[in-house]
Amino acid sequence: MELNIRALEDSDWDTLLSWWKWWRWPELSKDVLPMNGTGGLMICKGDIPIAAGFLYLTNSKAAWLDWIVSNPEYREKDRKESLVLLINGLETVAINEGCNTIISITRNKSLMDIHSKLGYTVDKNPSYEISKKIT
């Protein structure tokens, strides 16, 4: 069975929350995500969701790729391939929206390696995500 890519749907929300919880990420609210939680892509194999990520579009030629998360129970050989498909798919969306740069943050070594192999510049110096809920 082949991997397929599709737009995120409202019905994916509970799946994403469970994955973020398993990976010990903060619980996100839809209103801080692009298109209220549907502004991204999902990679599936048949009916099995494998990975998802979001793309923030801006008023510039840059897009922000973030919140890449995967199904912790999916252990097949094509897991890494699904992440490559996801990142490439989000890149295609950015290009189609007129962007010429993608920015992303991760501390996950595997994702850094995948980004590097896809031609992204990966700064080996650690950085820190800084956020504040203001309302």
Q: What is the strand order of the sheet 3-7 is part of?
A: 3-7, 40-45, 48-57, 62-70, 101-104
Residue 19 included in any domain: yes
Find out whether 85 and 93 touch, Cβ atoms under 8 Å: no
| pLDDT tens, N- to C-terminus, the chain (135 residues) | 899 999 999 999 999 999 999 999 888 899 999 999 999 999 999 999 999 999 999 999 999 999 999 999 998 899 999 999 999 999 999 999 999 999 998 888 889 999 999 999 998 888 877 877 777
Q: What is the CATH number of the domain that holds 91?
A: 3.40.630.30
Residue 93 included in any domain: yes
Residue 122 included in any domain: no
Residue 124 included in any domain: no
Residue 128 included in any domain: no
pLDDT at position 127: 81
Pairing mode, strands 40-45 and 48-57? antiparallel
Residue 134 included in any domain: no
Beta-strand ranges (E) seen in 46-132 are 48-57, 62-70, 101-104
**Cross-strand pairs, 51:** 43, 70
Range of the domain at 53: 3-117
Residue 20 included in any domain: yes
Number of domains in the chain: 1
pLDDT at position 124: 83
